[in-house]
């Protein structure tokens, strides 16, 4: 039976800073507008972490069942692949995580909307259920969308638009369309992390029948696509600052552009795509740094 340390390994803690970046950005905009609520922040954080851990468990399970996780895999060995957790244990781990995460989501919705805003309650319940389904269906099942080149789209939507804009709305109950711009930034950078993962694993994924967007477009086009993601992300958040500028503190996040642009140069120069593995961590942490600095700028 798997021990606690093994489950921590399966949760892949290194992926968690990226998942909470959207919550930090959405919450900091709420702070700037004097809409912040500490309980909403805590529950949003717990819910987002639950979704990410569920997704990590499901990816481990789905790729193992489909035979994608094999000796040709470049990244860190996963727990099912290494035999540290059985398929049955991982299945029930997914079920337990989904239930706990959904309970956090229900509590979050109740605190944010009370019992009066029925339409908003239903909307966010649907989003919560959709997020759970999306976390699981990325690699699990015959219709796994990650095997059909749709992973980037779902990452953009749930890490970016839902993560940032949805979080902001829970505080403010206002449709502020300017907030879509930083949500696009986090979504695009998150899609960039996934694209790096798929660039690294392209050859193995193709042999295993995992038709990611990188497999569909090829190695060179995947690089060009990566540049577009990063540049569009930078453009979106700069546009938000141009529309909402109140002082130099709003531009603190510019310091995060240094590691992001260094990362882009590294990707441009890399010929062997298997050597891109360290860049996943760099881009994920750079996105988290951007979220933290952006948040500080909003608060200050």
Q: For residue range 229-279, what is the model confidence (pLDDT) as tens digits? A: 999 999 999 999 999 999 999 999 999 999 999 999 999 888 887 788 889
**Residue 11 belongs to a domain:** no
Give the domain range for residue 293.
20-299
Angle between helices 87-113 and 118-137 (to 10 degrees): 160
Residue 252 to residue 250: CA distance in whole angstroms: 6
pLDDT at 74 (0 to 100): 61
Residue 271 to residue 8: CA distance in whole angstroms: 34
**Residue 170 belongs to a domain:** yes
**Residue 15 belongs to a domain:** no
Query: Rounded to whole angstroms, what are the CA distances from 275 to 267, 269, 271, 278, 280?
Result: 9, 11, 8, 7, 10
**Residue 52 belongs to a domain:** yes
pLDDT confidence band for 72 (50 / 70 / 90): low
- CA torsion, points 134, 75, 193, 38, in degrees to nearest 10? 60
**Residue 96 belongs to a domain:** yes
What's the mean per-residue pLDDT of the chain? 92
pLDDT tens, residue by residue, 17-38: 999 999 999 999 999 999 999 9
**Residue 243 belongs to a domain:** yes
Q: How many domains does the chain have?
A: 1
**Residue 70 belongs to a domain:** yes
**Residue 254 belongs to a domain:** yes
Residue 265 to residue 158: CA distance in whole angstroms: 28
């Amino acid at each position: 039976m798997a021990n606690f340390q093994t489950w921590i390994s399966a949760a892949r803690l290194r992926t968690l800073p990226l998942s909470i970046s959207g919550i930090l950005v959405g919450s900091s905009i709420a702070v700037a507008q004097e809409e912040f609520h500490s309980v909403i922040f805590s529950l949003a954080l717990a819910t987002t972490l639950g979704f990410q851990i569920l997704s990590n468990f499901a990816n481990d399970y789905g790729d193992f069942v489909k035979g994608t996780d094999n000796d040709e895999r470049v990244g860190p060995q996963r727990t099912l692949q290494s035999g540290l957790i059985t398929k049955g244990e991982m299945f029930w781990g997914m079920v337990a995580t989904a239930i706990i995460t959904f309970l956090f989501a229900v509590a979050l919705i109740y605190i944010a909307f009370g019992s009066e805003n029925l339409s908003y309650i239903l909307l966010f319940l649907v989003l919560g259920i959709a997020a759970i389904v999306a976390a699981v269906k990325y690699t699990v099942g015959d219709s796994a969308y990650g095997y059909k080149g749709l992973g980037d789209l779902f990452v953009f939507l749930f890490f970016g638009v839902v993560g940032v804009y949805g979080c902001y709305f829970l505080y403010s109950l206002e449709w502020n369309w300017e907030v879509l711009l930083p949500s696009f930034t986090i979504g695009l950078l998150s899609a960039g992390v996934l694209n790096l993962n798929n660039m690294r694993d392209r050859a193995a994924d193709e042999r295993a029948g995992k038709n990611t967007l990188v497999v569909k477009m090829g190695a060179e086009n995947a690089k060009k696509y990566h540049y577009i993601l990063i540049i569009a992300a930078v453009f979106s958040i700069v546009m938000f600052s141009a529309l909402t500028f109140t002082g130099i503190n709003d531009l603190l996040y510019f310091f995060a552009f240094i590691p992001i642009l260094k990362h882009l140069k590294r990707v441009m120069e890399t010929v062997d795509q298997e050597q891109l593995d360290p860049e996943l961590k760099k881009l994920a942490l750079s996105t988290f740094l951007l979220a933290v600095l952006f948040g500080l700028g909003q608060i200050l």
